[in-house]
Amino acid sequence: MGEAGDGADPAEGGAAPAQGGAAAQGGVAAQGGAAPVQGGAAAQGGAAAPSFLCDAMLGGLSRWLRGAGYDAMFEHGIDDGDLVRLAHQTGRVLLSSDAGVFERRSLRTAAVRGLYVPRGLRPTEQAGFVLRELGLPVRDPRCMACGGALTMAPKDAVRDAVPAMVADRHDEFWRCDRCGKVLWKGSHWNGIVAGVAAAAGAATAEGPAPPPGGRKPAP
């Protein structure tokens, strides 16, 4: 997802959730994608959304989970022990494609919640697998860069933070409440919508079985 100050071509624009997007129905995103609600991406349906911690192999998955509306953290090159400790400290659901991680005591005893993600899947397929296995709907999208919630921002409040060409062409803007980046619905959005739709579609399909003992779905 593009944002102000990321070096993207202003003619291309940043990417922000489409206005009037559709919520997932039956696990499948309706055409047009999901838009953030006024005031940010709050938990929908009265249920708190889980947050995730992805291992070093799942950086792409973390981005598509954010696009599907979930706060997903990715730590490149983090040691397995540090990864598990971080999941325990933050209460995030650990996502890993390393079956050996799930042999650690904290995961075997469910002190840390985790889910094994089969290898050989594309990132959108990985996202679909996670959504399906944990019974999660597509929600309001979050910042693709950091996973923060997006809040609609008045055009006048962000005019100085975006290229003049973008301010002239667009009327709707969002700001990430975590990293502060300003986003808008640019031409890249079609790819994001397609990716999230692919993930939601994959969530309805039967996926590959994990190795014995390799999966511990989060309760």
Least confident stretch, 143-147, 150-154, 190-194: 190-194
47 band by pLDDT with thresholds 50, 70 and 90: low
The residue that leads in pLDDT, 137 or 41, is 137
Which range has the top average pLDDT, 32-36, 40-44, 155-159, 194-198?
155-159
Instruction: Write the pLDDT tens digit of every residue in 19-46.
Output: 333 222 222 222 222 233 333 333 344 5
pTM of the shown model: 0.71
197 band by pLDDT with thresholds 50, 70 and 90: confident
Please tell me the distance from the alpha carbon of residue 61 to that of residue 76, in angstroms, as a whole number.
Answer: 13
DSSP character at residue 74 = E
107 band by pLDDT with thresholds 50, 70 and 90: very high
Please tell me the distance from the alpha carbon of residue 178 to that of residue 213, in angstroms, as a whole number.
Answer: 36
Rounded to the nearest integer, the mean pLDDT of the chain is 76
Q: Residue range 159-183: average pLDDT?
A: 92
DSSP character at residue 210 = P
Which range has the top average pLDDT, 3-12, 14-23, 86-95?
86-95
How deeply is 58 buried, as exposed, middle or buried, from its count of CB atoms within 10 A (0-12, 13-18, 19+)?
buried
Q: Is the pLDDT of residue 10 over 80?
A: no
Please tell me the distance from the alpha carbon of residue 129 to that of residue 135, in angstroms, as a whole number.
Answer: 10
